[in-house]
Amino acid sequence: MIKIVKRDQPSKAIFFFTPVLAIFLTLVAGGLIFFILGFKPFEALKFFFIIPIADKYGFSELLLKATPLCLIAIGLSFCFKSNNWNIGAEGQLTFGAIVSGGVALLFYEQEGFYILPIVILAGAIGGMLYASIPAILKTYFNTNEILVSLMLVYVSKLILDYLVVGPWSNPEGFNFPETRQFSDSAKLPLLFEGLRIHAGIFLALAAVVISWFVFYKTYLGFQMKVSGFSLKTAKYAGYKGKKMIILVFLISGACAGLAGVGEITGPIGQLHREISPDYGFTAIIVAFLGRLHPVGIIFASLVVAITYLGAETAQIFMQIPKYTGQVFQGMILFFLLASDYLLFFKIKFIGSKK
């Protein structure tokens, strides 16, 4: 017989074990889906998860995709830890890219060491400005941040579309929806010859270190944790709730904006219509899979980045539709949430002992 018993305390070991379990279950379910679609499951999974990162180029692509995911997820972990549901990181990324791209275009055909820092800063500020909208509306007008931040995603993509088709489009670009190429000084340097991985990865690593410090070594981190557990307790303790809401939104906006900078000033070096394959949404999954822990988020961003690469490889070699990537991402989150049940409940097998 099986009996389900409530745990007295959430299990710490299981807290870090369930993400692994979730990934395993996703692979099993994914294999099943491939089987239903008429592919050999193991071969398909190999094309999806191993072949793409089997060589140097593939590994660089993995890091390239993991960088924005990690950066955004770190930012989101500030929001999620304190019970703020910012799900519009995609919009903050886009707006950050717009602002930094605009600044980069101002320096068209100019060179100088000071240009890149200004461009990066502009991206962070752009993301912060955009994230401040749901934050301010939430704190001063009691408006639901989930819906506002999400609506702003659509708006930001339309602003970008307007700019690259209209006023910012390349005058010599034969009406392609893209801007001029940024000057070399406005681009993040590539790290290795022939690979696309760029210096943006250091921004992500810096974010990891800083967030770890803030979470575990500062009063602010403690306040965030308390507010996440219980808003009432936070109120009794006299924390400035409104200020904190705005602060966590600004932090996560800045991170998303920086991810946007990486997308346009990296290998591409210009603004165009589709700068992000929904990194902002996928990063939500990364944040949860990484347990809102900086180190966990590094691993989670690598795992989820594979789903992007795998989807591309599987499409080329096996004609498996590329959306399988999204299906995998959705499943990871489903299984992760489901296996959290084990955090709070024990499953006991009761034998027929006397």
Partner 1 sequence: MIIDINFVGLIIASIMASAVPLILASCGELITERSGVLNLGVEGMMIIGAISGFALMTVTGSLIVAVFGAMLAGVLISTIFAFLTQTLITNHVATGLALTIFGIGISAMIGKNFVGIPGKEFPILFESLKDTIPLISPILFGHSIVFYFAFALPFMTNYFLKKTKLGLIVRAVGDSPESASNQGINVRLVRYACILYGGAMSGLAGAYLSMIYTPQWIENMTGGRGWIALALVVFSTWNPIKILIGAMIFGGLTIIQFHMQAIGVRIPVQFLTALPYIVTIIVLVVISRDSRKIRLSTPSSLGKSFHKDN
338 touching partner 1, by CB under 8 A:
yes
Q: Which residues contact 28 (CB under 8 A, 6 or more apart)?
A: none
330 touching partner 1, by CB under 8 A:
yes
Q: Which of residues 151-190 bind partner 1 (CB under 8 A)?
A: 151-152, 154-155, 158-159, 161-162, 165-166
317 touching partner 1, by CB under 8 A:
no
CB burial class (10 A; 0-12, 13-18, 19+) of residue 336?
A: buried
DSSP assignment of 65-95 equals HHHHHHHHHHHHHHHHHTT-----HHHHHHH
200 or 310: CB nearest partner 1: 310
Q: Which residues contact 318 (CB under 8 A, 6 or more apart)?
A: 39, 43, 44, 47
112 or 321: CB nearest partner 1: 321
288 touching partner 1, by CB under 8 A:
yes
Tokens matching residue 197: 């991985």
In Å, what is the CA distance from 98 to each residue of 65, 161, 272?
Answer: 20, 10, 10
147 or 195: CB nearest partner 1: 147
Query: Taking contact as CB under 8 A, which single stretch among the options 58-66, 105-113, 243-251, 337-345 is the one that binds partner 1?
Result: 337-345
10 touching partner 1, by CB under 8 A:
no
347 touching partner 1, by CB under 8 A:
no
Beta carbon of residue 315, minimum distance to partner 1 (angstroms, whole number): 10
Sole binder of partner 1 in the list 11, 139, 181, 326 (CB under 8 A):
326
Beta carbon of residue 155, minimum distance to partner 1 (angstroms, whole number): 5
Are 226 and 96 spatial neighbours (Cβ–Cβ below 8 Å)? no
3-state secondary structure at position 121: helix
Q: Which of residues 237-276 bind partner 1 (CB under 8 A)?
A: none
59 or 334: CB nearest partner 1: 334
Q: What is the DSSP letter of 5?
A: E
Are 315 and 322 spatial neighbours (Cβ–Cβ below 8 Å)? yes
325 touching partner 1, by CB under 8 A:
yes
Query: What is the amino acid identity at position 335?
Result: F
Total Cβ atoms within 10 A of residue 322 = 15
3 touching partner 1, by CB under 8 A:
no
143 touching partner 1, by CB under 8 A:
yes
Sole binder of partner 1 in the list 150, 208, 275, 300 (CB under 8 A):
150
132 touching partner 1, by CB under 8 A:
no
Beta carbon of residue 36, minimum distance to partner 1 (angstroms, whole number): 11
Are 240 and 125 spatial neighbours (Cβ–Cβ below 8 Å)? no
3-state secondary structure at position 348: strand
Distance between CA atoms of residues 214 and 69, nearest Å: 20
144 touching partner 1, by CB under 8 A:
yes
146 touching partner 1, by CB under 8 A:
yes
Beta carbon of residue 341, minimum distance to partner 1 (angstroms, whole number): 4
Q: Give me the residues paired with residue 56 across strands.
A: none
Are 152 and 130 spatial neighbours (Cβ–Cβ below 8 Å)? yes
In the shown chain, the binding pattern of residues 73 to 102 toward partner 1, with x for contact by CB under 8 A and - for none, equals ------------x-x---------------
Are 257 and 100 spatial neighbours (Cβ–Cβ below 8 Å)? yes
List residues near partner 1 by CB under 8 A: 6, 85, 87, 137, 141-144, 146-148, 150-152, 154-155, 158-159, 161-162, 165-166, 281-282, 284-285, 288, 321, 323-331, 333-334, 337-338, 340-341, 344
